Amino acid sequence: MGTRGTLKDFSRLLLYVLAGTAAGFFLVSCSGFDPLALIFTPTPSRTSTSSATASATITLTGTATETPSPLPTDTPTELPTATTTPTHTPTETLTITPGPSPTVTRTATRTRRPTLTFTLTPTRTASLTPTITNTPTPPFAALRLQRPGPSSKVVSPIQITVMITPGDDGYIYLELIGEDSRIISQERLDYRRFTGKTFLITPLLEFQISAAVEAARLEIYTRDGFGRLKALSSVDLLLMSVGDPEIYPFTELQSPYLVRYPVKDQVVQGGNLPVIGLARPVNDTPLILELIDQQGQRLGVVTTQVPPPSGDLSHTPFEVSLPYTVETQTPVRLTLRQESNGRIPGTVSLTSFEIILEP
């Protein structure tokens, strides 16, 4: 009994050992480790023919199959990185695009250089200034008759064309004077709404004469606020009661008298007024210079004979001294005029402007 009991215990122990060994072998084999390599290392045949070795090879093949799976996953991850690189490329292109714009702007700035050439224009103007001073261009007459011209043959009504500037009272006066100095016809045209303006008018002036033909003078004039003559233009005509008119135009439209000194509203002292100017005489009578105050009194007068212009000159220069006497500051009108040299007496041309006299 003692020996059997010992054997039974030994058998159980051996079974437990084998069972534990088998279980350990199974667990280790599942993890890919060969337990026989530890138990049977001295036996070379088991190392080379071990089925566990083949199983390990198959297991490695499965591991290699799992390894490529993350590789495709990594590859798309790098592709977006490559995609972002082209995204920066257009950004650099857009940054370069504004670059040429300042270059074009600088080119436009250079075009301003021609402005420097305009500085030559004042130089040319300065060279012309002495020419204008020496031979000034006379202005147009204040009352510029255009039709009918001198020696025209007219019938009633007379068609008049004239450029006017109304007087200080706003009126334009028309008079037709006959051979015996009588007034054949007259009109007063109201332009008070247009005082200070210059414009063209074409009024009709009717007349009646007893003779078939009569010489006459047509006068157009204006007055200032004190009733003094301000400007006057005239033309000699031949009036006809019947017949066909013959109308000639005016050839001289510039003012016949131009004063360079004194100027309008200038204050003069000393009792002696020097007058410097230009004249284109309308006939061979002397040029009359007068100083007329606001009451119509003549405070000074002088006459001078001005020859007709010669050569290329339109007017002849003149210079006179006009004495006057005043006790206080006195506004006067400086008047330049000529009288008729024909059968009808009176003033035929006049221009004037105001100055101030002091003792």
Q: pLDDT tens digits for the chain (359 residues)? A: 555 555 666 667 676 666 665 555 555 454 444 444 444 444 444 444 333 333 444 343 443 344 444 444 444 444 444 444 444 444 444 444 444 444 444 444 454 554 444 444 444 443 333 333 445 566 777 899 999 999 999 999 999 999 999 999 999 999 999 999 999 999 999 999 999 899 999 999 999 999 999 999 999 999 999 999 999 999 999 999 999 999 998 888 889 999 999 999 999 999 999 999 999 999 999 999 999 999 999 999 999 999 999 988 999 999 999 999 999 999 999 999 999 999 999 999 999 999 999 99
Q: Looking at residue 71, what is its pLDDT?
A: 46
- Residue 270: HSE in the Cβ half-sphere, 13 Å Cα cutoff: 7
Q: How far apart are CA 236 and CA 255, in angstroms?
A: 18
- Give the pair of three-digit tokens for residue 102: 């300042």
Q: Looking at residue 292, what is its pLDDT?
A: 98
Residue 74, exposed/middle/buried by CB under 10 A (0-12, 13-18, 19+)?
A: exposed
> Which amino acid, residue 128?
L
Q: Looking at residue 33, what is its pLDDT?
A: 47
Query: Which H or E element spans position 16?
Result: helix 2-30
Nearest to 232 by CA among 301, 302, 286, 162: 162
Residues in a beta bridge with 186: 175
Q: Is the peptide bond before 323 cis (omega within 30 degrees of 0)?
A: no
Please say whether the beta carbons of 263 and 195 come within 8 A. Answer: no
Q: How far apart are CA 46 and CA 53, in angstroms?
A: 10
In the three-class reduction of DSSP (H, G, I as helix; E, B as strand; rest coil), residue 324 is classed as: coil
Q: How far apart are CA 240 and CA 243, in angstroms?
A: 7
CA torsion through residues 298, 304, 307, 311, sign: negative
Nearest to 319 by CA among 277, 268, 263, 265: 277
Instruction: Using only the alpha carbons of the chain, give its radius of gyration.
Output: 62
Q: What is the dihedral of CA 204, 206, 212, 214, to 10 degrees?
A: -80
Q: 196: which DSSP letter?
A: T
Please calculate the CA angle 157-192-257 and round it to the nearest 5 degrees. Answer: 75
pTM for this predicted structure: 0.62
Measure the N-to-C terminal CA separation of the chain; round to a whole number of Å: 182
Neighbours of 44 (CB within 10 A): 9
CA torsion through residues 73, 78, 82, 87, sign: positive
Domains, the chain, ranges and CATH?
Answer: 1-97 (no CATH), 135-255 (2.60.40.2550), 256-359 (2.60.40.2550)
Residues in a beta bridge with 237: 152, 216
